[in-house]
Amino acid sequence: MIIDRREIERMLAAEGEAMQELFARAAAVRDETVGPVLYLRGLIEYSNICRKNCLYCGIRRENRSVARYRLTPDEVIAAARYAGERRFGSVVLQGGEITTEDHIACIESLVVRIKSLFPASPLGVTLSFGEQTEATYRRWFRAGAHRYLLRIESSSERLYRSIHPDDGLHRYEERLRALRALRRVGYQVGTGVMIGLPGQTLADLADDIVFMRDMDIDMCGMGPYVEAEGTPLVERCGPPPERDYRLAMALKMIAVLRLAMPDINIAAATALSSLSPDGRLDAVRCGANVVMPNLTPRRGKEAYRLYDDKSSAIDSRLLCERIGWGEWGDSLRFGKKNK
Ligand code: 5AD
Ligand code: SF4
């Protein structure tokens, strides 16, 4: 059944009982489609050095108050080994956007090392290092990465432009190019948006859902916009909606996306926990099936502040769910497409 855009917008407007029903329906669809299983990805925040200057992001290039770091290869490997020993099944290696050959080669060799850590059942490796050339994506894919996260942030070109500097480095077209390149190379492709941006309408959010369906994505990570110290977004674009609105809307987006794309992987984003201690748990209760416990060593974790109150502890209540221990937990949709 294809849910049309008007229906999507109607569901996103749900409140009270109708909203609770939406959540319950989405969780049931998740259970019936991808199964009542929560997959874990150990998140390793490799570096907060970034060439970009996104208006909303705490580690933007021009934020001088950030202490920049890069993990050593041994720190990354230790975190990945921990993920394997704890039987997480997969890791996500994430960091700012850097396009130097040195960086590309470092990531490439880290992927090779992570893949060889547990030869009998290698860890799944997801990368998230922003926009790169197709050749770079291919190198990392050949090294063993098989999933890539690159959020569109907003599928509305107008909104995308309003939250990024107009300097030629932050182009909507370029983001689309990168997403298409990832698909061509053969990755399971994840994207997502920020929810509750200044100037974002219900219609924009409905368009985001339609965009993800049209792009036929395999995975999604999306969460609320969270204020970030030292960033100019609010100054430039005005105040965002209330925190409660952002939180509820983020959960509704997850639920609606689950109904629109039942067989994809949807992550309970960390940003949810910045707005509510129950944020990620609620996301799982309304359709998400992936969580990413943070395994970054402390010296990095504190400096990798994309937004304020960034939490990393994983709620022990999440571990009461049925966990896909030791499994990659690949996107079911991707598997069907490539059969
Ligand atoms: N609030 C919420 N999410 C943010 N991100 C960056 N800054 C913020 C913020 N202030 C998200 C973006 C990016 C991901 C790495 O973090 O969506 O893609
Ligand atoms: Fe860099 Fe990503 Fe932050 Fe933009 S959102 S400044 S690309 S880390």
Which ligand sits nearest to residue 95's alpha carbon?
2
290 bridge partner residues: 39, 267
Spell 132-160 as b/e; 16+ CB within 10 A means b: beeebbbbbbebbbbbbbbbbbbbbeebb
206-239 pLDDT, tens digit each = 999 999 999 999 999 999 999 999 999 999 999 9
| Minimum CA distance residue for ligand 1 atom 18 | 151
> SS3 for the chain, per residue?
CCCCHHHHHHHHCCCHHHHHHHHHHHHHHHHHHCCCCEEEEEEEEEECCCCCCCCCCCCCCCCCCCCCCECCHHHHHHHHHHHHHCCCCEEEEEECCCCCHHHHHHHHHHHHHHHCCCCCCCCEEEEECCCCCHHHHHHHHHHCCCEEECCCECCCHHHHHHCCCCCCCCCHHHHHHHHHHHHHHCCEEEECEEECCCCCCHHHHHHHHHHHHHCCCCEEEEEECCCCCCCCHHHHHCCCCCHHHHHHHHHHHHHHHHHHCCCCEEEECCHHHHHCCCHHHHHHHCCCCEECCECCCHHHHCCCCCCCCCCCCCCHHHHHCCECCCCCCCCHHHHHHCC
12 lines ligand 1 (CB under 6 A): no
225 lines ligand 1 (CB under 6 A): yes
Atom number of ligand 2 nearest to Cα 164: 4
Atom number of ligand 2 nearest to Cα 61: 6
What is the best residue among 43, 48, 50 to mutate for testing ligand 2's pocket, by most ligand atoms within 8 Å of CB?
50
Atom number of ligand 1 nearest to Cα 221: 17
89 lines ligand 2 (CB under 6 A): no
57 lines ligand 2 (CB under 6 A): yes
22 lines ligand 1 (CB under 6 A): no
Per-residue pLDDT band for 339 (boundaries 50, 70, 90) equals confident
Q: Give the mean model confidence (pLDDT) for residues 173-192.
A: 98
- Pick one of 3.30.360.10, 3.20.20.70, 3.30.9.30, 1.10.150.120 as the CATH number of 5-327: 3.20.20.70
92 lines ligand 1 (CB under 6 A): no
Could you tell me the distance, in angstroms and rounded to a whole number, from the CA of residue 50 to the centre of ligand 1?
13
312-331 pLDDT, tens digit each = 677 778 877 799 999 999 99
What is the best residue among 46, 55, 56, 59 to mutate for testing ligand 2's pocket, by most ligand atoms within 8 Å of CB?
59
**Which pTM value belongs to this model?**
0.97
Q: Chain-wide mean pLDDT for the chain? A: 96
AA identity, residue 139: R
Instruction: Determine the pLDDT at residue 312.
Output: 66
Report the alpha-carbon angle 314-290-21, nearest 5: 100
Percent of the chain with pLDDT over 90: 91
77-88 pLDDT, tens digit each = 999 999 999 999
Could you tell me the distance, in angstroms and rounded to a whole number, from the CA of residue 329 to the centre of ligand 2?
27
